[in-house]
Amino acid sequence: MMDTLWLNEENDSLVIIDQTKLPNTLETLEITTPNALYDAIKTLAVRGAPAIGVSAAIGMYAIAKRFETTDITEFKARFSETSEYINSSRPTAVNLSWALERMKNVLKGCTTVDEARSSLKRECIAIRDEDIAVCRKIGENGASLITNGGVYITHCNAGRLAAVRYGTALAPFYVAQEQGKRFTVHADETRPLLQGARLTAYELSSAGIDTVVQCDNMVASLMSEKKINGIFVGCDRVARNGDAANKIGTHGLALIAKHFGVPFYVCAPYSTIDLNTKCGADIVIEHRDGDEIGEKWYNAKMTPNGVSYYNPAFDVTPHELITAFVTEKGVLTPRQL
């Protein structure tokens, strides 16, 4: 499987797999403008905390490469203004603001536009390479939690398509497979955008991993009837106290897991921890268009006229429901973060 996104060094553009077309069509988008980058992140053509961060870094380099100015002060001002615009596309994912801030920081010591562009290119490549290494390490640390013959649940998509390569919540499965382990993964379909049914099932089945898809509201039945060895999810932001924001439905899954005594693991790069956010109540939750619920996957509108919609993209799982975080630094309890 190809990387989810990359820098085309022939023309200094960001290239991403358009995830809105999967699993039926594999298409790529080439991005060189602020509006194209904003739209790709906002519409979920690129999605997943690590992938959003890396795409923002490479995308900002591609955009800055095309600034028509030789004045370093103007260059920095335009870069800062564009960064703020891109950051507004997905407010919940901390990796977006983290990557943009990191790119802005490399400009501080630059005195010429040429130096600035070279520095931005080095930094976006470094961010990409670090993501690959971090996700691999998350996989290695998490593989120790997977047993041969085990049965697991995952929610949304936090695999290869949510990062550059490997992913976060699915990385332990890929490494465990390399180690010769055989197991089954149940993928929640993940309403309303079906990231589990469309993307996780696509990834895992393509890799030869035994994959089962179920509706989100079937997990309690599944856990009551069948031994589940663990649940692996990703996240978009972790507060200082260990509360974690992830795709809507994660909180309910964690509550059910607690009831049935199933270990609940959150897989994420350490950069996802936001020390400036005290607890989950302080995390800004993005709300999306209600058409995703009532129309998106249907040939005709499936809800009556006049109803309104409640469509938060994320919910917050309290730290007391989380067994451990799987990071590149190891498997850590919320208290150890």
Just list the catalytic residues. 236
Q: Residues 168, 172, 176, CA angle at the centre, nearest 5°?
A: 155
User: Are the beta carbons of 246 and 156 closer than 8 angstroms?
Assistant: yes
How far is residue 132's CA from residue 144's CA, in Å, rounded to a whole number? 19
Separation of CA 197 from chain center = 16
The tokens of 91 are what? 């407010």
> How deeply is 301 buried, as exposed, middle or buried, from its count of CB atoms within 10 A (0-12, 13-18, 19+)?
exposed
How far is residue 54's CA from residue 1's CA, in Å, rounded to a whole number? 18
DSSP β-ladder status, 210-214 and 184-188: parallel
Among candidates 101, 46, 47, which has minimal Cα distance to 79? 101
User: Are the beta carbons of 248 and 236 closer than 8 angstroms?
Assistant: no
Among candidates 230, 232, 238, which has minimal Cα distance to 200? 232
